């Protein structure tokens, strides 16, 4: 019996592996494929994908900057423009990842 | 129905994916850009640790292994066993730090920006190509290939860049590719030629001929020649007055008939008067060490990534250190064991316009020398991102391209319509050979031999050797002209107006070991009027040159540090002359006048006096001349130079120019114009900075910035840098331009030159690297860094941080 927590963990782990080796959009498609194959319930599918995306993208971004600090996130947060706030940049990165994975997870679950 | 419902989310997911995979106008591809596994996040480079690291890379095409040693400023010292490998490694290593810049600058030079940014780049692209940038690069590429050594250099350098491009996966692309959403294309050797041509665009494309003709048409020749004299009232020419001439001049061609022409009614910005440079060399007779010391600081637009990239190149027959220009092999300005050399720009007139008389609307024939001659057509195709290709036909007369036809709108206001362009940058040339030979030169003879190959943009090549020689050649290919030929637009039907060959290279102005024990240049007049040939009527204002010569004459016991002081000299020599003249006439009781009275004439960063004076000069020039010379924006004209203005204030208090012709029935006096321009100055400064106080500090007002090459990218730029100076100051830091590479070298008999240098940027082009802008603060403070000059790759030094071995 899958719980949503388990689904989220699966999406994050597979998403990270796919991210390392394949183009960026594959990270969304994998969520759709998994949702389809593992029969994610349609109702919670968007939320599951959304939370996975936020954690995967926002968390990875945070980890990258934590383990390899540089001036780049501040510069990008100024450029985008987020007033140079790196926390906001984590949030925006997470939201993009969340919406992206959310739609694909919903799409995969709905197709079945 | 059920099916449609079930695929709606899929359609949405695909739309979101496509939307974030592409850029939309200036909006970047958010998905790709922000993905922590593909986007900008992985461009971050951690600050290098103090520990030494080693790495091995495989580079196809190398003949033997190459060792690259990086110092603490991330400057590579490249050790190869032959020329081919040296240049291949130079291409590879430079691309590793600066790939995006190299490609972007050559795309710009080749008129291909619209391939990246779409239709908004088209006008600039068309201008570049109509001016003949690609045509000129093709010409000079032909010339370069004729020298087998230059050919090897170009091709190996190109192979090195391509080896780097091939090694990159999409996620490893430099940040700017991700922001603008495109990929690098393979490099080709002609791109190096394009880059060098672009230096002619930057340094030798200034043209006032149209504006001068507009003045001629409005005010007549007498006024034009009076207000725009052909030699300044105050000057200290590069070749000292009285220097002997060691050649027999060739005959000067007869002058063409006077020609007024149609002028033109279009708009414009002109060349940046602040792009100039300083260089000098001091003989051992004046130095503490007894050895010559050479100093150079080319002033260019300050940018990130920097136009310069430092490197040491070592192979059998060469061990040279200096600054290179990413995109071209060799060192451009630097030193080796025996010599040092540097460059400043020569502002001679090497660009002229000829009014074209076409036979009919087909433009296939034009009138010249009493007959109809055929035009040549060149087809230029522009690829535009997101649009269909644009095909453009350029008409060439024997002079060169007709840049704009009579009915066309110009990209810049100083470009006349209906005129053909004759420009030195279209000549076949061999600049690379000059740098190849200078890199290996051992003495004065080698240096003069190297200079023979250089065409454009003409440079003042300063030189010093450990044999004790100092020298300076004003060097390039100069058209052999009659006096003042090309000051105004010329008649394209008159064969007497054509260029008649070139001044023999050995007759170029030069000086070796002069009695004054130093040589120097700062873009001022090359020679005094006794030089037998005509080079141009207008050069950069003489202030920097006069100040440098005044200081070098006075200085004794010269050291590297005292010359560093001179590079950072903030003394305002213009104010020394002009300010007392203004004070004599100004009527005001504002306290700003008191500040000016107490000002020490230094344009130091915190100076308030400098801000008031510099703003006043601008307002005065405008109040005095704009009513006559900027009255109609469709008829662009030059404004008389500051040198002429000072003469007017000193000797011509009753000249007609003082009256503001726009105020009917009033006759303004010199005192009124000077006083009202002072009041305008105070009003402007109060408006921008509030009441008189520390906010009026010169650096806050001037706002020197080092800006990213993409316009408007403030987040990747460094702005409001606390530095003094100014355009007419030796420390020539202005809002957007300044000393782009300062270096000083003291030569040594034993081949151990002592060298110091700095440029406002950093070695890495990656905004995610500490080396992106790590040299700027040192530069702003006026300090230099010691340059590491290694003998061999295994030499130990506490400054070495990383070693890379490149092998096949």
What's the pLDDT tens digit per position in B76-92?
A: 999 999 999 999 999 99
Q: Which residue has tokens 């095909």?
A: B391
Contact residues on chain A for B714, CB-CB shorter than 8 A: 78
B9 to A27: CB separation less than 8 angstroms, yes or no: no
Instruction: Write the CB contacts of B745 (distance below 8 Å, at least 6 apart in sequence).
Output: B293, B294, B295, B335, B340, B464, B753, B754, B755, B756
The dihedral over CA atoms of B106, B112, B113, B115, expressed in degrees to the nearest 10, equals -130
Closest-CA distance of chain B to residue A61, Å? 5
Tell me the average pLDDT across B342-366: 94
- B31 and chain A in contact, CB less than 8 A: yes
Q: What is the DSSP string of B720-779?
A: EE-----TTSSS---SSEEES-EEEEE--TTS--EEEEE-SS-S---TTSGGGSTTHHHH
Closest-CA distance of chain B to residue A88, Å? 13
Instruction: Note the Cα B84 to chain centre separation in Å.
Output: 29
Which is nearest to B329 in space by CA: B147, B138, B523, B115? B147
Contact residues on chain A for B37, CB-CB shorter than 8 A: 16, 19-20, 24, 27, 60
Indicate if the pLDDT at residue B269 is higher than 50: no
Helix, strand, coil: what percent of chain B each, to 5? 35, 20, 45
Instruction: Note the Cα A17 to chain centre separation in Å.
Output: 12
Verify cis geometry, omega within 30 degrees of 0, for the bond prior to B457. Answer: yes
Mean pLDDT of chain B: 94
- B499 and chain A in contact, CB less than 8 A: no
- pLDDT-based confidence at residue B274 (cuts at 50, 70, 90): low
B9 to A57: CB separation less than 8 angstroms, yes or no: no
Cα B67 to Cα B64: distance, rounded to the nearest angstrom: 10
Indicate if the pLDDT at residue B718 is higher than 70: yes
Return the CA Rg of chain B: 27
Instruction: Note the Cα B441 to chain centre separation in Å.
Output: 25
Contact residues on chain A for B175, CB-CB shorter than 8 A: 72
B36 to A61: CB separation less than 8 angstroms, yes or no: yes
A73 to B32: CB separation less than 8 angstroms, yes or no: no
Which is nearest to B729 in space by CA: B544, B541, B568, B540? B544
Residues in chain A, total: 112
Residue of chain A nearest B5, judged by CA positions: A110
Closest-CA distance of chain A to residue B802, Å? 19
Instruction: Write the CB contacts of B306 (distance below 8 Å, at least 6 apart in sequence).
Output: B706, B740, B759, B760, B761, B762
Tell me the average pLDDT across B751-765: 97
Residue of chain B nearest A90, judged by CA positions: B34
Contact residues on chain A for B43, CB-CB shorter than 8 A: 72
Which is nearest to B519 in space by CA: B242, B747, B279, B288? B279
Instruction: Write down the pLDDT at residue B197.
Output: 87
Q: How, if at all, do strands B53-58 and B704-708 pair?
A: unpaired
- pLDDT-based confidence at residue B272 (cuts at 50, 70, 90): low
Question: If you classify domain B35-570+738-808 with CATH, what class do you get?
Answer: alpha beta
Residue of chain A nearest B713, judged by CA positions: A79
Best of A13, A24, A83 to substitute, by most chain B Cβ atoms within 10 angstroms, is A24
Cα B738 to Cα B723: distance, rounded to the nearest angstrom: 10
State percent of chain B over pLDDT 90. 88
Nearest to A64 among B30, B44, B772 (CB): B44
No. of H helices and E strands in chain B?
21, 28
Indicate if the pLDDT at residue B48 is higher than 70: no
Contact residues on chain A for B2, CB-CB shorter than 8 A: none
Contact residues on chain A for B176, CB-CB shorter than 8 A: none
Lowest pLDDT segment from A86-100, B51-65, B146-160, B168-182? B51-65
Indicate if the pLDDT at residue B268 is higher than 60: no
Contact residues on chain A for B770, CB-CB shorter than 8 A: 70-71
User: Are B558 and B286 spatial neighbours (Cβ–Cβ below 8 Å)?
Assistant: yes
A107 to B36: CB separation less than 8 angstroms, yes or no: no
User: Are B566 and B295 spatial neighbours (Cβ–Cβ below 8 Å)?
Assistant: yes
Number of Cβ pairs < 8 A linking chain A and chain B = 116
Paired tokens of B194? 């394009």
Indicate if the pLDDT at residue B4 is higher than 90: no
Helix, strand, coil: what percent of chain A each, to 5? 80, 0, 20
A32 to B13: CB separation less than 8 angstroms, yes or no: yes
Cα B450 to Cα B473: distance, rounded to the nearest angstrom: 11
Residue of chain A nearest B10, judged by CA positions: A107
Instruction: Write down the pLDDT at residue B50.
Output: 61
Closest-CA distance of chain A to residue B6, Å? 5
- pLDDT-based confidence at residue B757 (cuts at 50, 70, 90): very high
- pLDDT-based confidence at residue B51 (cuts at 50, 70, 90): low
- B187 and chain A in contact, CB less than 8 A: no
Closest-CA distance of chain B to residue A20, Å? 6
Q: How far is CA B289 from CA B240, B281, B560, in A?
A: 25, 14, 10
Q: Which residue has tokens 């030499």?
A: B795
- pLDDT-based confidence at residue B47 (cuts at 50, 70, 90): confident
B768 to A70: CB separation less than 8 angstroms, yes or no: yes
Tell me the average pLDDT across B382-386: 92
Q: Domain limits of chain A?
A: 4-111
Helix runs in B601-661, H state only: 608-629, 642-651
- pLDDT-based confidence at residue B275 (cuts at 50, 70, 90): low
User: Are B751 and B789 spatial neighbours (Cβ–Cβ below 8 Å)?
Assistant: no
Residues of chain A in Cβ contact (below 8 Å) with chain B: 16, 19-20, 23-25, 27-28, 32, 57, 60-61, 63-65, 68-73, 75-76, 78-79, 81, 92-93, 96-97, 99-100, 103-104, 106-107, 110-111
A33 membership: H or E segment, kind and range: helix A26-37
Tell me the average pLDDT across B141-164: 95
Q: Is B173 helix (H, G, I), strand (E, B) or coil?
A: coil
Nearest to B16 among A19, A72, A99 (CB): A99
Contact residues on chain B for A32, CB-CB shorter than 8 A: 10, 13
Tell me the average pLDDT across B576-590: 96
| B807 CB neighbour count, 10 Å cutoff | 12
Q: Is B2 helix (H, G, I), strand (E, B) or coil?
A: helix
Indicate if the pLDDT at residue B293 is higher than 50: yes
Q: Is B376 helix (H, G, I), strand (E, B) or coil?
A: strand
- Structure confidence by residue, pLDDT tens digits, B231-241: 999 999 999 99
Paired tokens of A13? 């782990």
B34 to A92: CB separation less than 8 angstroms, yes or no: yes
B176 membership: H or E segment, kind and range: helix B175-180
Nearest to A57 among B9, B35, B44 (CB): B35
- Structure confidence by residue, pLDDT tens digits, B193-228: 999 988 888 888 888 999 999 999 999 999 999 999
Instruction: Write down the pLDDT at residue B649.
Output: 97
B6 membership: H or E segment, kind and range: helix B2-21
| B432 CB neighbour count, 10 Å cutoff | 28
- pLDDT-based confidence at residue B690 (cuts at 50, 70, 90): very high
Residue extent(s) of CATH 3.60.20.10 domains in chain B = 35-570+738-808
- pLDDT-based confidence at residue B267 (cuts at 50, 70, 90): very low
- B449 and chain A in contact, CB less than 8 A: no
B472 membership: H or E segment, kind and range: strand B470-475
Which is nearest to B759 in space by CA: B709, B706, B698, B686? B706
Contact residues on chain A for B22, CB-CB shorter than 8 A: none
Return the CA Rg of chain A: 15
Q: How far is CA B371 from CA B355, B413, B493, B494, B498, in A?
A: 16, 32, 9, 11, 15
Q: Which residue has tokens 């087909």?
A: B362
Backbone angles phi, psi at B299, to 5 degrees: -100, 120
Contact residues on chain A for B9, CB-CB shorter than 8 A: 103, 106-107, 110-111
- B40 and chain A in contact, CB less than 8 A: yes
Cα B200 to Cα B110: distance, rounded to the nearest angstrom: 13
Which is nearest to B264 in space by CA: B306, B333, B208? B208
No. of H helices and E strands in chain A?
6, 0
Tell me the average pLDDT across B766-777: 96
ipTM above 0.95, yes or no: yes
Q: Is A91 helix (H, G, I), strand (E, B) or coil?
A: helix
Closest-CA distance of chain B to residue A8, Å? 18
Cα B128 to Cα B122: distance, rounded to the nearest angstrom: 10
Instruction: Write the CB contacts of B486 (distance below 8 Å, at least 6 apart in sequence).
Output: B209, B349, B351, B352
- B711 and chain A in contact, CB less than 8 A: no
SS3 annotation, B220-283: HHHHHHHHCCCCCCCCCCCCCCCCCCCCCCCCCCCCCCCCCCCCCCCCCCCCCCCCCEEEEEEC
């Amino acid at each position: 019996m899958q719980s949503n927590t388990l689904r989220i963990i699966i999406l994050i782990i597979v998403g990270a592996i796919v991210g390392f080796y394949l183009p960026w959009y594959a990270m969304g498609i994998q969520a759709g494929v998994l949702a389809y194959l593992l029969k994610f319930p349609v109702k919670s599918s968007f939320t599951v994908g959304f939370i996975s995306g936020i954690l995967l993208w926002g968390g990875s971004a945070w980890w990258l900057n934590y383990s390899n600090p540089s001036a780049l996130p501040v510069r990008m947060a100024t450029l985008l423009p987020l007033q140079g706030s790196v926390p906001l940049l984590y949030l925006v990165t997470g939201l993009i990842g969340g919406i992206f994975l959310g739609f694909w997870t919903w799409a995969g679950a709905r197709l079945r | 129905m059920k099916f449609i419902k079930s695929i709606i989310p899929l359609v949405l997911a695909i739309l979101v994916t496509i939307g974030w995979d592409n850029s939309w106008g200036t909006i970047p591809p958010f998905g790709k850009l922000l993905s922590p596994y593909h986007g900008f996040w992985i461009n971050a480079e951690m600050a290098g640790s103090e520990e030494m690291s080693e790495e091995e890379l495989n580079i196809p095409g190398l003949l033997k292994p190459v060792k690259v040693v990086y110092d603490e400023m991330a400057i590579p010292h490249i050790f190869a066993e032959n020329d081919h490998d040296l240049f291949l490694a130079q291409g590879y290593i430079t691309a590793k730090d600066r790939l995006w810049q190299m490609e972007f600058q050559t795309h710009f030079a080749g008129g291909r920006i619209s391939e990246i940014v779409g239709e908004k780049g088209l006008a600039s692209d068309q201008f570049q190509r109509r001016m003949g940038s690609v045509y000129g690069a093709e010409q000079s590429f032909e010339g370069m290939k004729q020298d087998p050594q230059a050919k090897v250099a170009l091709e190996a350098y190109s192979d090195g860049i391509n080896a780097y491009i091939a090694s990159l996966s999409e996620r490893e692309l430099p940040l700017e590719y991700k922001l603008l959403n495109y990929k690098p294309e393979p490099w080709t050797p002609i791109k190096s030629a394009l880059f060098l041509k672009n230096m002619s665009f930057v340094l030798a494309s200034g043209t006032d001929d149209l504006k001068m003709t507009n003045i001629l048409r409005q005010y007549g020749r007498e006024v034009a020649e009076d207000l725009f004299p052909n030699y300044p009232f105050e000057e200290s020419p590069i070749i000292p007055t009285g220097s002997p001439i060691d050649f027999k001049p060739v005959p000067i061609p007869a002058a063409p008939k006077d020609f007024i022409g149609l002028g033109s009614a279009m708009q414009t910005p002109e060349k940046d008067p602040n792009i100039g440079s300083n260089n000098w060399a001091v003989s051992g007779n004046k130095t503490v060490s007894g050895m010559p010391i050479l100093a150079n600081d080319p002033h260019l637009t300050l940018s990130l990534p920097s136009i310069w990239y430092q490197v040491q190149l070592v192979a059998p027959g060469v061990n040279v250190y200096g600054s290179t220009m990413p995109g071209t092999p060799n060192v451009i300005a630097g030193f080796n064991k025996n010599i040092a050399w540097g460059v400043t720009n020569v502002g001679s007139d090497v660009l002229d316009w000829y009014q074209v008389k076409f036979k009919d609307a087909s433009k296939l024939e034009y009138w010249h020398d009493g007959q109809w001659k055929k035009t040549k057509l060149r087809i230029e195709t522009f690829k535009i991102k997101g649009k269909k290709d644009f095909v453009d036909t350029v008409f060439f007369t024997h002079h060169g391209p007709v840049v704009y036809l009579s009915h066309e709108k110009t990209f810049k206001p100083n470009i006349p319509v209906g005129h053909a362009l004759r420009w030195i940058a279209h000549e076949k040339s061999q600049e690379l050979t000059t740098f190849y030979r200078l890199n290996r030169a051992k003495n004065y003879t080698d240096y003069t031999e190297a200079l023979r190959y250089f065409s454009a943009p003409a440079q003042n090549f300063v030189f010093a050797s450990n044999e004790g020689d100092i020298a300076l050649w004003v060097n390039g290919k100069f058209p052999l002209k009659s006096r003042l030929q090309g000051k105004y637009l010329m008649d394209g039907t008159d064969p007497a107006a054509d260029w008649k060959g070139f001044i023999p290279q050995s007759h170029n102005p030069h000086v070796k070991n002069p009695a004054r024990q130093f040589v120097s240049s700062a873009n001022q007049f090359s020679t005094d009027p006794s030089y037998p040939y005509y080079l141009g009527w207008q050069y950069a204002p003489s202030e920097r040159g006069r100040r440098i010569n005044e200081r070098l004459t006075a200085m004794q016991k010269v050291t590297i540090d005292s010359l560093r002081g001179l590079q950072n000299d903030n003394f305002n020599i213009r104010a020394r002359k002009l300010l007392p003249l203004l004070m004599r006439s100004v009527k005001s009781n504002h306290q700003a006048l008191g500040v000016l009275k107490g000002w020490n004439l230094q344009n130091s960063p915190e100076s308030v006096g400098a801000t008031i004076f510099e703003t006043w000069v601008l307002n005065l020039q405008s109040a005095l001349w704009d009513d006559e010379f900027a009255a109609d924006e469709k008829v662009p004209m030059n404004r008389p130079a500051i040198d002429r203005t000072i003469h007017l204030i000193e000797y011509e208090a009753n000249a007609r120019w003082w009256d503001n012709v726009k105020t009917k029935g009033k006759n303004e006096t010199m005192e009124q114009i000077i006083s009202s321009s002072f009041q305008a100055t105070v009003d402007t400064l109060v408006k921008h900075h509030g009441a008189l106080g520390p906010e009026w500090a010169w650096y806050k007002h001037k706002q020197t910035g080092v800006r990213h090459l993409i316009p408007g990218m403030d987040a990747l730029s460094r702005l409001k840098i606390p530095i003094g100076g100014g355009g007419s100051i030796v420390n020539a830091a202005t809002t957007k331009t300044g000393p782009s590479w300062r270096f000083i070298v003291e030569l040594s008999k034993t081949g151990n030159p002592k060298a110091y240098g700095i440029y406002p940027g950093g070695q890495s082009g990656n905004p995610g690297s500490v080396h992106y802008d790590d040299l700027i603060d040192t530069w702003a403070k006026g300090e230099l860094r010691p340059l590491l000059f290694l003998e061999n790759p295994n030499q130990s030094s506490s400054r070495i941080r990383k070693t890379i071995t490149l092998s096949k």
